[in-house]
Structure 1
Amino acid sequence: MTAPEPAHLHAHLLAAVPSATASGARVLQALLADPAGAAQLTVTDLARRTSTSEATVVRTARSLGFAGYPQLRLALAAAGAHHEPAALLTGSLEDTADLATVVATLAAVETEAVAATARTLDVAALAAAADAVHAARVVDCYGIGASGLLAADFDHKAARVGLVTRLRTEGHAALVSSALLGPGDAALAVSHSGRTPDLVGSARQARERGAAVIAVTSSPGSPLAAAADHVLVATGRETAYRAGAMASRASSLLVLDCLYVAVVQRLGPAATAALRGTYRAVEGSRAAPADPPGSR
């Protein structure tokens, strides 16, 4: 892995949290909270502050693409000048927070997550995933719980441009559907954690049967990512009030929208014709505009 530029360091730190070990995550959280301050700490100081070890700090630096902690410190110092208030970007909300603080915090967290995802998204993996979806005979869309809403959004848009899709938002239904896939098919699995058992099982089964598997997850080191042919990482992390999970939803939606647009580009005029046809199909069912108040 190549070390990120200082301007992109925050995004890489944020993206690394979900798949880090417990001790590694504590180091990353400390760096996220105060990059300029962390740049002043020796490896021993940072290990002590995060209740970890010097070896953990060094491993964390190397996992980010740096040769060692000294190189990470230099990047932290450069990144600190552009750092936003930690209270906003951590997404931590107290029980007594006023609504203005809630709005500002969620806006900051979701904006940063979307921007970080845009900066770190693997465009080559995105293109390969779009090729797989475009070429597929059928595309299974899997998501359980909140991730099911994201899978449903992609399924709806994909169907509008003429793709044959099957939405599965229940674990056993996903397992059954994946057992019927084969070469020339594709499965899109959406999961923030990448660790939902039935979803991971469905992805593994789809791949074993020869289908192309695309994972959209915030955890590139998860079992789901390991089971996929193409991994698209959406930056986001869990916090006490799930602000991180909300941010993950926003960044996952960005990833799925990018995938959708890339597929539409490959479909070309066929997508435009399909959109027109599906629009006409529902146009007649729309309610007539209401008369403006006072018009009668």
Structure 2
Amino acid sequence: MTVSPTGVLGRLKMELPTLPDALQRVAEQILEDPAEAAQASIVDLAERSGTSTATVTRFCRVLGFAGYAALRVAIATESGRAQQARWETDIDGDIEPDDPLDRVLGIIAGADARAIQETADRLDLAEVARVADAIATASRVELFGLGSSGTSGREMAFRLERIRVPCWFRPDAHTALTNAALLGPGDVAIGLSHSGRTREVIETLAVAAEQGALTVAVTSFARSPLADAADVVLTTAAHETTFRLAALSALHSQLVALDLVYVAVAQRTYARTTEAFEVTARAVQAHRLHDEASGARRARQRKTPTEDK
């Protein structure tokens, strides 16, 4: 997996509980003081975390870095940017029952902005291009997700359908499994799950993979059962606030990742997409309420000088 030079700290916070004990200690030491960790030698970090240099090296490789030097650069880059934006110090995710709406709005907007930026940092653009290439020529695309992830999948299916991509969103596990079994080489199956541990989504991708379809996981956890079951992993981020737990907070990040894929597909099918937009716009035109003032202006513009006299 290719790792973006930014977004490392957010990923560590999210994946911390899934790491083995020794690697957790390394991660905790980095998260405790990222700026200090960016300056520390591999020996210093190993001593402070109560591990060994071999463990730190393994930690780097688990994250997808070639070595400790690359990890230090990534931490330094992100620490400097976070300090400049003051995201970590100025934005609090706690919302009290009597908080005014202006503060609530600031917290929600700030959390979503951070999650979207971290998602943009995490996305492997080569993998996004691979998915877009496959969808652009696929005879069948299947999407499946439950809960809020299902909302993202349904929106993606709507967008792809609009540009003539043969695409379906499946609302339940049995329908998803039976249709995944009908896929084949050249088809695409996309499974969405913030945690990467939703059994039904994992099973659906596994069935699709058995049939030879390209399988894509959209998840916040790059090291999860869903990610392991997929050919391509698009990693998202989420920032919790009070009343919006991680799975609910991941919606906007999932939409950003999927929207990037959608636009990339539209680029690859430009003529077909443009024609589809024109056809569908005409189809619903009669159902739009007309602006009478605009209609009157257009009528006046169509009059000839003779008619005005």
TM-score range, shorter chain: 0.7 to 0.9
Hey, what's the Cα distance between the residues in 2 that align with 1:192 and 1:75? 24
Query: Are 2:194 and 2:250, in contact at CA under 8 Å, matched by a contact in 1?
Result: yes
Q: CA deviation at 1:95?
A: 3.0
Give unmatched runs, 5+ long, in structure 2.
294-309
- Greater C-alpha Rg: 2
Query: Are 2:29 and 2:45, in contact at CA under 8 Å, matched by a contact in 1?
Result: no
SS of 1:210's equivalent? coil
Hey, what's the Cα distance between the residues in 2 that align with 1:187 and 1:208? 11
Provide the residue aligned with 2:93 in structure 1: 92
Give the partner amino acid of 2:121: R
Identify which of 238, 242, 250 aligns with 1:236: 238
Provide the residue aligned with 2:176 in structure 1: 174
**Deviations for 1:96-125, whole angstroms, at most 9, x for unmatched residues?**
544333222222221122122222311110
Query: Are 1:189 and 1:216, in contact at CA under 8 Å, matched by a contact in 2?
Result: yes
Alignment of 1:32-43 (within 5 A): 32=31, 34-36=33-35, 43=45
Query: Are 2:181 and 2:211, in contact at CA under 8 Å, matched by a contact in 1?
Result: yes
Alignment of 1:1-296 (within 5 A): 5=5, 8=6, 11-20=7-16, 21=18, 23=21, 24=23, 28=27, 31-32=30-31, 34-36=33-35, 43=45, 47=49, 53-54=50-51, 59-64=58-63, 65=65, 67-68=67-68, 76=75, 79-82=78-81, 83=83, 84-88=86-90, 92-96=93-97, 97-236=99-238, 241-242=243-244, 244-289=246-291
Query: Are 1:17 and 1:25, in contact at CA under 8 Å, matched by a contact in 2?
Result: no
**Deviations for 1:116-163, whole angstroms, at most 9, x for unmatched residues?**
222231111011101111111111111111011100111001011011
Distance 1:27 1:210, change over 3 A: same
Hey, what's the Cα distance between the residues in 2 that align with 1:3 and 1:137? 31
Give the partner amino acid of 1:93: D
Hey, what's the Cα distance between the residues in 2 that align with 1:166 and 1:32? 41
Q: CA deviation at 1:169?
A: 2.4
Query: Are 1:88 and 1:108, in contact at CA under 8 Å, matched by a contact in 2?
Result: no
Give the partner amino acid of 1:165: C
Query: Are 2:139 and 2:187, in contact at CA under 8 Å, matched by a contact in 1?
Result: yes
Query: Are 1:110 and 1:246, in contact at CA under 8 Å, matched by a contact in 2?
Result: no
Hey, what's the Cα distance between the residues in 2 that align with 1:102 and 1:66? 41
Hey, what's the Cα distance between the residues in 1 that align with 2:169 and 2:111? 29
Query: Are 1:239 and 1:245, in contact at CA under 8 Å, matched by a contact in 2?
Result: no
Query: Are 1:232 and 1:255, in contact at CA under 8 Å, matched by a contact in 2?
Result: yes
Distance 1:71 1:186, change over 3 A: closer
How many residues were matched structurally?
281
Hey, what's the Cα distance between the residues in 1 that align with 2:120 and 2:3? 17
Q: CA deviation at 1:86?
A: 2.4
More helix by share: 2
Q: CA deviation at 1:213?
A: 1.2
Hey, what's the Cα distance between the residues in 1 that align with 2:174 and 2:107? 37
Q: CA deviation at 1:288?
A: 4.1
Give the partner amino acid of 1:12: V
Distance 1:54 1:148, change over 3 A: same
**Deviations for 1:154-211, whole angstroms, at most 9, x for unmatched residues?**
1001011011111112222211221222222211111111111011100000110111
Hey, what's the Cα distance between the residues in 2 that align with 1:100 and 1:33? 31
Q: CA deviation at 1:241?
A: 3.9
Give the partner amino acid of 1:54: T
Moved more, 15-24 or 209-218: 15-24
Length-normalised TM-score, structure 2:
0.77
Give unmatched runs, 5+ long, in structure 1.
48-52, 292-296
Distance 1:147 1:88, change over 3 A: farther
Hey, what's the Cα distance between the residues in 2 that align with 1:239 and 1:26? 26
Length-normalised TM-score, structure 1:
0.80
**Deviations for 1:245-279, whole angstroms, at most 9, x for unmatched residues?**
45422221111111001111111211110111112
Hey, what's the Cα distance between the residues in 1 that align with 2:170 and 2:185? 19
